[in-house]
Structure 1
Amino acid sequence: MQNNVPAFRSSGDLLADRRYAYAKAAVEAGDHAEAVEILGQVLELVPHWAPALFMLGIAEDKLSHRREAISAFEQAAELDVRDELGAGLQLARLGARPAPPAAAEAYVRRLFDQYAVHFERHLVGTLAYRAPALLLEAVSVIRPGVFSSVLDLGCGTGLCGMAFRAKAKMLCGVDLSPGMIEEARAKAVYDRLEVANIETFLAAEPAESADLLLAADVLVYIGDLSGVFAMAGRVLIPGGLFAFTVQAGEEGFRLGPDLRFAHAPAYIEKETAKSGLRIVAMESAVTRQDAGHDVQGLVIIAQKA
């Protein structure tokens, strides 16, 4: 995700738009010096256009021009107050700002709306995504039967829902991205679908109403998980399970170069315990690949006391 270039949005200047398209093609071809030159021309025409400044930051970073990249990202962040482009995350990655407690909602929504149509093909075919299968295996060992109410948090296009459909009497999916929800709806595996923030959604659900919560490759966009675990503890019935994956970290939670958060096992154990949950399974596993390399993750099941 680090070098994700935002989808095109017009600057209002036709010539600037055309040159931006040339710069985007140069970035995607790996010609970052050419992109910097073209983006300089773009910004002469539209000096306060956040997408051009953001792409300039990406190109300068690829050229190892750290100071120039930080300057471009800072300007983009000032213009993009909701951080839809992710300039704040880029600045945190470069050490110019503290890491936020979570990726901005506008950034996550834009990112996944942009990729919704071909996201699943890329995730499974290119990134060898395994999180739903790993969660299904882990949950089936602890409880082989059927669950009355299953909530798929950050359901995406519905891959986890497909894996768990046979184990759920009622299956609900929730995601920040309307585009992802539409893709999930087309699969016709969910009884209910909602567009919402995970914590907000769980806060609105009846207390002690679900016996299984799922979060497959979702919590990587949230650093501070205390709120999610608190809401999970509220919504789960006694004995209910929260099955999720995270990227494996060494201490607390940290934002990685891929703009995703990694969490340490000790952090997970501490924060779940605060919410009345106890870890009943925690296994290391490769959850997917990134740039051809295995991503080490943790497959975790917490149970409400």
Structure 2
Amino acid sequence: MGMPDSSSATAEAEAVSELSIPEAIVYATRLQRQRQLDGAEALYGRVLEAAPGHPDALHFLGLLRFQRGRPEEAVGLLLQAIAQAPDFPDFHGNLGNLYTALGRLAEAEESYRRAIALDPQRADFHNNLGVLYRVTGDQKRAEAELQRAVQLDPGHFRAYNNLGMLYAAQDKPQQAVEHYCRSITLMPEHPDGHKLLGLAYYTIGQVDEAAEVFRQWLLQQPDDPMARHMYAACSGRDVPPRAADDYIVQTFDSFAESFEEQLQTRLSYKAPELVVAALSRHLPPPARQFEVLDAGCGTGLCGPLIAAHAARLTGVDLSVGMLQRAEGKACYDRLYRIELTAFLDMPEQAEAWDVVLSADTLCYFGPLDGVFAAAGRALREGGWLAFSLEDGGERALATGHLINPHGRYAHSAGYVRKCLEDAGFVVLEMQSASLRTEGGRPVVGLIVVARAARVGGSEEKSRTS
């Protein structure tokens, strides 16, 4: 893989000979938290060579495999850990998290309940079970578990945020606001409470109040990229032409390992499938024949869908956490941590690609002319560009693009078409579609396929709806 890991796996593994097994595990978990996964995995392997079946090593290695995007392996390792130490509650709690991420919700509930039975006073277990119930629609039991979490640990800011989201979904904005404020009081440096409070005001139409939340947050933490971006999104002041790199990194490194957010966004999320399905309508039958770039690959959801067309599949993204999950899909030949326009503009990428696709990435760009021009230079003659955007509708007609208070950009269909044509593309398809469900409502987007030039003296008929 082209994704650098700053640790030397061999050197780290050799440290086992100089450390006791508990010391080696502590050292490995520190490397794991720092995303030095090769070194951490090598250490866990050496521990298991020295002490086969060591439950802590199996447990942490399982969590590491999940970070690498190999959740089924992760589950197997945690089950092995539980077989060695069946009464250790954390193993069951983390197994519940893995099952949740896999959508195996009945097994997740069982694991959380087992963890609670072993340690009824652990607020985290009640919080996680409450999140499970909230997202699956069992609001009564969700509230009971989350309230139990804050009773056990009045400083559990995540449980207050989750209660806020529960009340927001019940159209109880005042109660939601109260719980977000409590979270901010408990953990003012953590972004979640500030963001959720601002979005709560935005959701009920109080955009000025939302902007004030983010302004106050920015005053407290002037270097926080999320505070800066969200204030711009809600106030309309100093709106960047695209989301800043540090905002993307902060947002998606956090998201990559958040079981709660993953579960929420799994619901009705269809952008990768829609983009690849639209692209496939214009490609010849798959024969692993194309050089394919997944621009803004995230955790690699597009990878398995397009792999049959790819002689070589490369992914680029700014988030190390996302790239580590994409690596686990085992379908990318190369993964690079770099901003996608910067990658496309590299001299060695000129006319290097047959296909460039991008699902749910260009919604972090305002003006599109630069990224489309870069894609045009990177594609070979007749190459395909496929992507999704959020549809700005009539609101975006005046300027072609706008930033929404939730922090993502939206575009008008006419603007997208003009930018593509100015960059030398022929639009083959532009369809309206629901990309995901957010706050109980569909997020309407545009699924677009374009071609870098006419081929054979003719062009495919454009389809737009």
- Cα displacement string for residues 105-145 of structure 1 (whole angstroms, at most 9, x for unaligned residues): 22222211112144665433x1x122222222222222223
Residue 345 of structure 2 corresponds to: 203
- Identical residues among aligned pairs (%): 35
Say whether residues 1:280 and 2:428 are aligned partners.
yes
Query: Could you tell me which of 383, 405, 410 is aligned with 1:240?
Result: 383
Query: Could you tell me which of 235, 238, 249 is aligned with 1:95?
Result: 235
Say whether residues 1:179 and 2:321 are aligned partners.
yes
Distance of 1:34 and 1:266 partners within structure 2: 42
Distance of 2:183 and 2:391 partners within structure 1: 37
TM-score by length of 1: 0.80
Query: Could you tell me which of 252, 256, 264 is aligned with 1:112?
Result: 252
User: Which letter maps to 1:241?
Assistant: W
Distance of 2:221 and 2:297 partners within structure 1: 27
Residue 77 of structure 1 corresponds to: 218
Residue 152 of structure 1 corresponds to: 294
Distance of 1:129 and 1:175 partners within structure 2: 19
Residue 11 of structure 1 corresponds to: none
Gaps spanning 5+ residues in structure 2: where?
A: 1-153, 168-174, 454-465
User: In terms of Rg, which structure is larger?
Assistant: 2
TM-score by length of 2: 0.54
For the Cα contact (< 8 Å) 1:210–1:237, is it kept in 2? yes
Distance of 1:209 and 1:71 partners within structure 2: 46
User: Which letter maps to 1:178?
Assistant: V
User: Which letter maps to 1:268?
Assistant: V
Residue 272 of structure 2 corresponds to: 132
SS of 2:331's equivalent in the other structure is: coil
Distance of 2:193 and 2:325 partners within structure 1: 31
The 3 A distance-change label for structure 1 pair 223 and 206 is same
For the Cα contact (< 8 Å) 2:161–2:192, is it kept in 1? no
SS of 2:225's equivalent in the other structure is: coil
SS of 1:187's equivalent in the other structure is: coil
For the Cα contact (< 8 Å) 2:198–2:211, is it kept in 1? no
Residue 371 of structure 2 corresponds to: 228
Residue 253 of structure 1 corresponds to: 401
User: Which letter maps to 1:189?
Assistant: C
Distance of 2:304 and 2:262 partners within structure 1: 13
Gaps spanning 5+ residues in structure 1: where?
A: 1-16
What is the deviation of 1:168? 0.6
For the Cα contact (< 8 Å) 2:161–2:183, is it kept in 1? no
Distance of 1:78 and 1:264 partners within structure 2: 34
Higher strand share: 1
What is the deviation of 1:96? 5.0
Distance of 2:217 and 2:402 partners within structure 1: 23
State the superposition RMSD in angstroms: 3.0
Relative contact order (alpha carbons < 8 A, sep ≥ 6): 1 or 2 greater?
A: 1
- Cα displacement string for residues 67-118 of structure 1 (whole angstroms, at most 9, x for unaligned residues): 6643442243355455422x23332343352532122222222211112144
Distance of 2:333 and 2:184 partners within structure 1: 50
The 3 A distance-change label for structure 1 pair 83 and 230 is farther
Say whether residues 1:271 and 2:425 are aligned partners.
no
What is the deviation of 1:227? 1.6
